[in-house]
Amino acid sequence: MGSTSDKASGLANQAVGRAKEGVGKAVGNDRLRAEGAAQEAKGKVQKAVGDAKSAVKDATNKTAAAINKNL
């Protein structure tokens, strides 16, 4: 996946996880609460991966631009 799709998937998983966790708390369902917390954590990791990919891509582009400028 690209950085944008990783970020989008991460944000979506975080949102769905928060919702599941909230519903689990509201109805007293510990399994749903735990599932929501796990999905939210997965989303945070996905977003971090997307952020890292984006940072690497930006650094690579800046380096290539600097090299091309010096040629």
Picking from 3, 38, 1, 4, the residue whose alpha carbon sits closest to that of residue 18 is 38
**Inter-residue contact 42 to 19 (CB < 8 Å):** no
- The pair of structure tokens assigned to 52 is 């890292």
The per-residue pLDDT for 53 is 95
Torsion of CA 48, 50, 55, 56, to 10 degrees: 110
Task: Pick out the chain residues at pLDDT < 50.
Answer: none
The per-residue pLDDT for 26 is 97
What separation, in Å, do the N-terminal and C-terminal C-alpha atoms of the chain show?
Answer: 33
The per-residue pLDDT for 55 is 95
The per-residue pLDDT for 65 is 92
